[in-house]
């Protein structure tokens, strides 16, 4: 989990820096001015249009943080299983259900070569990080994942994770333009969204770290 938490801190800082720049620009403490003579200056109209795009782009950065954090957290769980040689029989029923769900997705012929000791190998051999999520992560999804693995749900507010997911998908699928999305959000609201998302994810990682430290994934004796 140390590497996962370090990656989260790095990505979160990137997001925080970006939103700080937007606030500074909105307050006219920074501007798009030429760095050298004979360089054209953006008009006020052009800067306003670009600013809408930059605000919308913030949702892409936030969603990237959300999905990557959850993926890395789940990968850390399976890394723990592999490092400790956790067997299927030793796992809590919730984890067994996750493993069996993963098994259903696999081709048996592809799976067999990796199963030397089936009770142990089947736990990690069926895991695929790249199949975990694809544009569908919000607060409810994260809480469902917490329930399915048996770690504590984050208690912090998460309403704005749905806002982030919806805007990200509207942009990714061309349902809305960047200008349309950026037009709908002021900087105070964007700051609130950014703070809520980062706090929620920080708690998520703390809960997963607790889950691994206490080995809550094991079946009670």
Burial class (CB in 10 A: 0-12, 13-18, 19+), 45: exposed
pLDDT of residue 30: 78
Is residue 47 pLDDT above 90, yes or no?
no
pLDDT of residue 124: 80
218 near 77, Cβ under 8 Å?
Answer: no
| 3-class SS letters over 98-157 | HHHHHHHCCCHHHHHHHCCCHHHHHHHHCCCHHHCCCCCCCHHHHHHHHHHHCCCCCCCC
143 domain-assigned: yes
Query: What is the number of structural domains in the chain?
Result: 1
108 domain-assigned: no
pLDDT bin (cut points 50, 70, 90) of residue 110 is low
Q: Which two tokens stand for residue 199?
A: 């706090």
Task: Give the domain extent around 54.
Answer: 2-33+41-84+134-213
pLDDT bin (cut points 50, 70, 90) of residue 220 is confident
126 domain-assigned: no
150 domain-assigned: yes
Q: Which residue has the tokens 């993926």?
A: 71
Q: What is the mean pLDDT of residues 73-100?
A: 94
196 domain-assigned: yes
18 domain-assigned: yes
Q: What is the pLDDT of residues 128-185, one digit of tens each?
A: 899 899 899 999 999 999 999 999 999 999 999 999 999 999 999 999 999 999 999 9
Q: What is the pLDDT of residues 87-109, one digit of tens each?
A: 988 999 999 999 999 887 776 66
pLDDT bin (cut points 50, 70, 90) of residue 121 is confident
In a 3-state reduction of DSSP, which class is residue 161? helix
93 domain-assigned: no
Q: Which two tokens stand for residue 214?
A: 């206490």
Q: What is the pTM of this model?
A: 0.91
Indicate the average pLDDT of the chain: 90
pLDDT of residue 109: 62
> Any long-range contacts for 166-175 (C-beta under 8 Å, 24+ apart)?
167/56, 167/59, 167/63, 168/59, 168/60, 168/62, 168/63, 168/135, 169/135, 171/56, 171/59, 171/60, 172/60, 172/135
92 domain-assigned: no
């Amino acid at each position: 989990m140390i590497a996962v938490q370090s990656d989260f801190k790095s990505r979160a800082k990137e997001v925080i820096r970006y939103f700080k720049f937007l606030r500074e620009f909105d307050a006219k403490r920074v501007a798009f001015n030429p760095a050298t003579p004979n360089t054209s200056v953006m008009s006020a109209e052009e800067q306003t249009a670009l600013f809408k795009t930059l605000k919308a782009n913030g949702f892409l950065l936030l969603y990237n943080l959300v999905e990557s954090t959850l993926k890395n957290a789940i990968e850390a769980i399976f890394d723990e299983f592999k490092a400790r040689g956790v067997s299927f029989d030793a796992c809590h029923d919730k984890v067994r259900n996750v493993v069996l769900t993963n098994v259903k997705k696999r081709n048996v012929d592809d799976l067999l070569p990796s199963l030397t000791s089936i009770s142990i190998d089947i736990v990690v051999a069926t895991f695929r990080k790249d199949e975990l999520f694809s544009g569908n992560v919000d607060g409810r999804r994260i809480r469902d994942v917490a329930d399915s693995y048996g770690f504590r749900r984050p208690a912090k507010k998460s309403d704005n994770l749905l806002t982030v997911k919806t805007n990200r998908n509207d942009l990714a699928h061309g349902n809305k333009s960047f200008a349309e999305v950026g037009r709908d959000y002021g900087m105070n609201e964007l700051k609130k969204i950014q703070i809520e998302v980062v706090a929620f994810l920080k708690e998520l990682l703390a809960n997963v770290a607790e889950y691994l430290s206490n080995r809550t994934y094991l079946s009670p004796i």
